[in-house]
């Protein structure tokens, strides 16, 4: 099965998340040939037929995209449950730390790549809303002469509660996006959120569009990491920040084995093979210092990383200056 080569954007209407009509030109999307859906660039149909790795297996670059797509199509429905089982719930803390490091403010425009299930997007909306509410309360305390009607009106406006912030979730896998949209509807996330089917190596957005780019547990699955990093740099505004949460080189031998993951995959999801790939992809991913150099090569400056939980994961940060 090949990776998808078209782009779709979902917005929220009264009946839930729905696919927007093709042919409209949306601000911030890269334009391409006449008639291209949404006026956005189609994902490339040409991949160089050189070899790369799929876990420990050697495959052509063209073949890898389809194989990775199949893995995440297979694990999508059990993705959240498996994350909890594999990390004993610690992945939630790692993602919280990513948001605390980001420290977004009202008005922040975020692009979350490979974020189909919405974990980062929902945390972002919660964080920004809490920041805005805190600011609003401080302003209300300073305006003691407001009526109850005026106070209620300020709290009831959902768009205002985000202070103009917005998150665009971009993922190449339709099933992962489907799960994310279902979670958004179930948990009441509507404002400030959109979903787009797109490739990390060819993002369908204009240059200098976003304040922050995040990718959590996704960059090790792209075929060309260097291209994904270059695209991240391209779509960020000057002064924008790149943040990546990814498995890394463990510096504690007591926690260095991931071999329990395929076993859990078989027991919980009935899928040993997909979770075996995830283990192998973790081991193939470059160590922290090497990945730091790759981020710098893409044009980012002030690049740093912080290892968490004995180096099981690391948060990498860089700025477009």
Kindly write down the DSSP assignment for every residue of 103-171, as one continuous string: ---TT-EEEEET-TT-HHHHHHHHHHHHHHHHHHHHHHHT-TT--HHHHHHHHH-TTGGGTT-EEEEEE
pLDDT at 312: 87
Q: Output the pLDDT for position 33.
A: 36
% residues pLDDT > 90 (the chain):
43
**Least confident residue range of 109-123, 137-151, 191-205:** 137-151
Q: What is the pLDDT of residue 248?
A: 87
Lowest mean pLDDT among 18-22, 113-117, 241-245, 270-274: 18-22
> What's the pTM value of the predicted model, to 2 decimals?
0.76
| Coil, strand or helix at 315 | strand
pLDDT band at 213 (very low <50, low <70, confident <90, very high): very high
Distance between CA atoms of 319 and 304, rounded to whole angstroms?
10
Top-ranked range on mean pLDDT: pick from 121-125, 150-154, 174-178, 245-249: 121-125
Least confident segment among 88-92, 143-147, 281-285: 143-147
Residue with tokens 């009935």: 270
* Predicted confidence (pLDDT) at residue 272 exceeds the cutoff of 90: no
Sequence-distant (≥ 6) Cβ neighbours of residue 50 within 8 angstroms:
60, 61
pLDDT of 131 above 70: yes
At 220-253, the pLDDT tens digits run 889 899 999 999 999 999 999 999 999 887 766 5
pLDDT grade for 73, boundaries at 50, 70 and 90: low
Please state, as a whole number, how many other Cβ atoms lie within 10 Å of the Cβ of residue 204: 26
Question: What's the pLDDT at 44?
Answer: 46
**Spatial contact of 118 and 79, defined as CB atoms under 8 Å apart:** no
CA–CA dist 114, 172 (Å, integer):
7
pLDDT of residue 115: 92
């Amino acid at each position: 099965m090949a990776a998808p080569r078209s782009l779709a954007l979902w917005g929220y209407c009264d009946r839930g998340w729905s696919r927007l009509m093709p042919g409209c030109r949306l601000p911030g999307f890269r334009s391409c040939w006449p008639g291209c859906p949404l006026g956005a660039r189609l994902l490339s149909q040409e991949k160089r037929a050189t070899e790369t790795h799929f876990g420990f297996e050697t495959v052509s670059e063209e073949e890898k995209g389809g194989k990775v797509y199949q893995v995440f199509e297979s694990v999508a429905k059990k993705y959240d449950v498996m994350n909890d089982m594999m990390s004993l719930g610690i992945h939630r803390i790692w993602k919280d730390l990513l948001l605390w490091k980001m420290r977004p403010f009202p008005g922040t425009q975020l692009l979350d790549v490979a974020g189909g299930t919405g974990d980062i997007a929902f945390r972002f909306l919660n964080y920004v809303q809490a920041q805005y509410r805190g600011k609003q309360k401080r302003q209300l305390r300073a305006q003691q002469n407001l009526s109850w009607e005026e106070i209620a009106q300020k709290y009831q406006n959902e768009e205002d509660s985000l202070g103009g912030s917005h998150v665009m979730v971009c993922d190449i896998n339709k099933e992962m996006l489907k799960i994310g949209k279902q979670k958004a509807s179930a948990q009441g996330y509507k404002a400030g959120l959109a979903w787009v089917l797109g490739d990390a190596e060819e993002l369908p957005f204009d240059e200098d569009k976003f304040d922050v780019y995040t990718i959590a547990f996704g960059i090790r699955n792209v075929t060309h990491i260097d291209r994904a990093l270059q695209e991240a740099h391209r779509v960020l505004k000057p002064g924008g920040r790149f943040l990546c949460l990814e498995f890394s080189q463990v510096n504690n031998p007591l926690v260095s084995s991931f071999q329990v993951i395929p076993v859990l995959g078989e027991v919980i999801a009935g899928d040993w093979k997909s979770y075996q790939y995830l283990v192998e992809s973790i081991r193939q991913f470059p160590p922290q210092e090497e990945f730091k150099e790759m981020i710098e090569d893409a044009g980012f400056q002030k690049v740093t990383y912080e290892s968490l939980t004995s180096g099981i994961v690391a948060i990498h940060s860089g700025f477009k200056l």
